[in-house]
Amino acid sequence: MNNLFDFADACLHQTDIDEKLRLTAEAWQLYQQGELQFDSSSEPKGIEHVRFPEKPELLAPRYMARRKLGSPEGVQAFYHALAHIEFIAIYLAWDILYRFRGLPDKFYQDWLQVAQEEAIHFNLIRTHLRKLGIDYGDLPAHQGLWEHAQDTAGDVLARLTIIPRCMEARGLDVTPGMIEKIAKLKDTEGVQILKRILEDEKQHVAFGSEWFNQQCQKRQLQPEATFKTLILKYYKNNKPKVPFNIEMRLQAGFTENELAWLEDQ
User: Residues 166-176, buried b or exposed e (16+ Cβ, 10 A)?
Assistant: bbbbbbbbebe
**Domain assignment of residue 140, given as a range:** 4-40+71-263
* Percentage of residues of the chain with pLDDT beyond 90: 91
Tens-place pLDDT, residues 111-137: 999 999 999 999 999 999 999 999 999
| pLDDT at position 66 | 73
Q: Can you spell out the DSSP letters for 63-108?
A: GSPP--TTSHHHHHHHHHHHHHHHHHHHHHHHHHHHHS-S--HHHH
Q: Which helix (H) or strand (E) holds 215?
A: helix 188-218
| pLDDT at position 123 | 98
pLDDT beyond 80 at 258: yes
For residue 134, is it within any domain?
A: yes
The CA dihedral of 128, 193, 178, 258, to the nearest 10 degrees, is: -140
The model's pTM: 0.96
Q: What values do phi and psi take at 141, rounded to 5? A: -140, 160
For residue 66, is it within any domain?
A: no
For residue 206, is it within any domain?
A: yes
For residue 63, is it within any domain?
A: no
Tens-place pLDDT, residues 234-252: 997 789 999 999 999 999 9
For residue 23, is it within any domain?
A: yes
Average pLDDT over residues 28-38: 98
Number of helices and strands in the chain (H, E):
11, 2
Number of Cβ within 10 Å of residue 76's Cβ equals 17
| pLDDT at position 251 | 98
- Whose CA is closest to 117, among 145, 97, 89, 154? 89
For residue 122, is it within any domain?
A: yes
Q: Cα separations (Å) of 19 from 6, 12, 82? A: 14, 11, 20
| pLDDT at position 28 | 99
Q: How many domains does the chain have?
A: 1
Going by C-beta distance under 8 Å and a sequence separation of 6 or more, which residues neighbour residue 155? none
| pLDDT at position 177 | 96
pLDDT beyond 80 at 74: yes
Q: For residues 231 and 151, what is the distance between their CA atoms, to the nearest angstrom?
A: 12
Average pLDDT over residues 203-229: 98
Average pLDDT over residues 104-108: 98
Average pLDDT over residues 67-88: 93
CATH, residue 254: 1.20.1260
More confident residue, 236 or 263: 263
For residue 47, is it within any domain?
A: no
| pLDDT at position 37 | 96
For residue 109, is it within any domain?
A: yes
